[in-house]
Chains A and B, each alone.
Chain A
Amino acid sequence: MAAPKGGIFGKILDIDLTTGTHKVRTYDEALARKLLGGTGLATYYMWKEIPKGTDPMSPENLLIFASGPLCGTECPGARLSVNFKSPVSGGLGNSFVGGGFSNSIRWAGYDMIIMRGKAPKLSYIYIEDDKVEIRDASAMAGTDTFQAEEMIKEDIKNPDAYCMVIGPAGENLVPIACIISERFKAAGRLGGGAVMGSKNLKGVAIYGTGYVPMADDKGFHEAAGRAVEECAANDRAPGFRQFGTALSLDQNGWYDTDLATRNYQTGYYPDVAGLGSEESSRTFWQKHTACPGCQVHCMKLGVLRGVEKHEGLIAEGPEYESGVMEGSNLGMATLDEAMPLIELCDAMGLDNIGAGNAVSFTMELVQRGILKAEDLDGIDAQWGNFDAAYQLFEAIAHKKGKAGELLGMGPWAMAQKIGGDAPKYACVARKQGFAAWDPRTARGMMTSYSLGPRGGAHTDGGSPKVIADRIVGSSCCLCYFVPGTWGKKANKNIIDMLNPLCGWDMTEAEFDIIGRRIVTLQRAYSHREAGDNRQSDMPPARVYEAMPEGPKAGAKWTPEEIKKIQDDYYAYFGWDSNGVPTADCLKKYGLDFCL
Chain B
Amino acid sequence: MKAENEKPTVDSQKSEHSLSRRSFLRGSMATVAVTVPAAMALGAAKDAIAAPKAEAPKAAPKPATPPAKSLLVVRKNCTGCNSCVYACSLHHEGRVQPSMSRIHVRRVKGIVDVPMICWHCADAPCVEACPTTPKKAIYKDKESNVIKFHDEKLCLGIKCNKCVEACPPQYLRINVRTGLPLFCDLCGGDPQCVKACNRQARETGEVLRCDPRVGGVHRSYRDVTPDDAVEGLIRSMYYPNVEGERR
Contact = CB atoms under 8 A, between A and B. Distances in A.
A289 B98 contact: no
B95 A303 contact: no
B36 interface: no
B247 A182 contact: no
A420 to B, nearest CB: 39
Given A289-B79, A314-B238, A301 B111 contact: yes
Interface stretch (A57-65, A142-150, A531-539): A142-150
B237 A287 contact: yes
Interface string A268-298: 0000000000000000001111111111110
A312 B238 contact: yes
B203 interface: yes
Nearest to B106: A159
A290 B240 CA distance: 24
Contacts of A296: 200
Interface stretch (B17-25, B54-62, B86-94): B86-94
B125 interface: no
A232 to B, nearest CB: 5
A567 interface: no
Interface stretch (B4-12, B128-136, B153-161, B208-216): B4-12
Give the interface centre of B80, B85, B100, B112 by most chain A CB atoms within 10 Å. Answer: B80
Given A211-B96, A289-B113, A242 B199 contact: no
Interface in A150-183: 150, 159-160, 182-183
Nearest to B176: A209
A107 B97 CA distance: 7
Contacts of B203: 238, 241-242, 288, 297
Interface in B190-247: 199-200, 202-204, 237-241, 244-247
Contacts of B83: 293, 295
B18 to A, nearest CB: 13
A224 B65 CA distance: 26
Contacts of B4: 489
Contacts of B70: none
A73 interface: yes
Given A312-B247, A314-B247, A297 B96 contact: no
A211 B12 contact: no
A573 to B, nearest CB: 29
Tier of interface size on chain A = 35 or more
Nearest to A150: B109
A544 B247 CA distance: 42
A150 B111 CA distance: 12
A256 interface: no
B50 interface: no
A303 B237 contact: yes
A214 B95 contact: yes
B122 interface: no
A74 B240 contact: no
A210 interface: yes
Contact of A183 (B96, B111, B202, B238): B111
Contact of B200 (A146, A150, A221, A295): A295
Nearest to A213: B95
Contacts of A217: 94-95
Interface string B132-169: 00000000000000000000000000000000000000
Given A160-B106, A301-B111, A312-B241, A107 B98 contact: yes
Nearest to B81: A290
B241 A314 contact: yes
B26 interface: no
A255 to B, nearest CB: 24
Contacts of B247: 310-314
A209 B101 CA distance: 11
A133 interface: no
A149 B110 contact: yes
Nearest to A309: B247
B8 A293 contact: no
B31 interface: no
B237 A182 contact: no
A238 B97 contact: no
Interface string B110-131: 1111000000000000000000
A305 interface: yes
A230 interface: yes
Interface in A428-467: none
A287 B89 CA distance: 26
A210 B96 CA distance: 9
Given A160-B104, A212-B95, A313-B247, 11 more contacts: A74-B86, A159-B108, A182-B107, A209-B176, A229-B199, A238-B202, A287-B237, A290-B79, A293-B96, A297-B203, A312-B241
A-B pairs, 5 with minimum CB distance: A183-B110, A312-B241, A290-B81, A209-B99, A211-B97
15 contacts: A107-B99, A150-B109, A160-B106, A211-B95, A211-B96, A230-B8, A241-B200, A287-B79, A292-B80, A292-B81, A292-B82, A292-B85, A293-B86, A297-B204, A314-B238
